[in-house]
Amino acid sequence: MRIDVLTLFPEMFAGVLGSSILKRAAEPITNPADPDDVRSPVANYHVTNLRDYADNKHQKVDQPSFGGGPGMVIQCQPVWDAVQAVEAMDDRPATRILLTPQGEPLTQPIVEELAQLPRLLMIAGHYEGIDERVIEKLAPIREISVGDYVLSGGELPAMTLIDAVVRLLPGALGHQDSAHQDSFSPGAKRLLDHPHYTRPRTWEEMDAPDVLLSGNHAKIEAWREAEARRRTEERRPDLLDNDPT
């Protein structure tokens, strides 16, 4: 998958895209048992500075809002020109995404849908937003929100969406079932995940559940399902509407 990001602050992405699972997904991986078996990167990232497409020597891309009020608005021209130029860099069709508080709430099913696509182009707005006319001209464009709150810009939401999507790409995780069993995922029946425990067996006079050390896989699975439902009932009862059972 190719992921493009248009932003005024490209330096914000270096640490996130160059760390952990996102870094691993963008690198070729060699099978330790077979040096000739090399997995190609499952994702590649391209971060573009919107200021590079400004039409003035000062690289200014924002202006005061018509009608008055605080804050600045990103102009149409640099956004439009950047999208056209970046999309022309690759033959794969790009699904355009605008990160905005006015968008549809991000959910795991949306992430799963996006993870099936060959290319995503994310636009991270800033200031008071982007001139509505270029948003309309870029249609079809999917507007996505990461929650009912406001951030300084779309950069952090873009990073969130990238992380959520990339970890679902085949080969991105060490064990693909990890993503399938996560909270909100099909393997978890769209519920919250069950509690997890590891060594030592006793810590601060608290014991890990005996059933998890029983070796009885049927009982372990039943315990995990019951705990997932209990936790969901306590913390997110609204999710029970999505439970097929």
134 — pLDDT class (breaks 50, 70, 90): very high
Q: What is the pLDDT of residue 34?
A: 87
Inter-residue contact 159 to 114 (CB < 8 Å): no
Map tokens 């948003």 to a residue: 135
| pLDDT over 90 (residue 93) | yes
**Mean pLDDT, residues 75-86 taken together:** 98
Residue in 90, 112, 182, 227 annotated catalytic: 182
Query: Does domain 2-166 correspond to CATH entry 3.30.2350.10?
Result: no
What are the angstrom distances between the C-alpha of 230 and each of 185, 209, 213?
17, 15, 21
Domain borders along the chain are 2-166, 181-242
**Mean pLDDT, residues 215-241 taken together:** 95
Q: Which CATH architecture has domain 181-242?
A: Orthogonal Bundle (1.10)
Is 167 one of the catalytic residues?
yes
CA atoms within 13 A of residue 2's CA, in its CB half-sphere: 16
Residue in 112, 128, 143, 163 annotated catalytic: 128
140 — pLDDT class (breaks 50, 70, 90): very high
Residue in 4, 62, 155, 167 annotated catalytic: 167
79: its two tokens: 């956004």
Residue in 51, 90, 101, 195 annotated catalytic: 101
Percentage of the chain beyond pLDDT 70 is 94
Is 230 one of the catalytic residues?
no
Q: Could you list the beta-strand ranges (E) of the chain.
A: 2-7, 29-31, 34-39, 44-49, 62-64, 72-74, 95-105, 119-124, 142-145, 202-203, 206-207
Cα 208 to chain centroid distance, Å, stands at 33
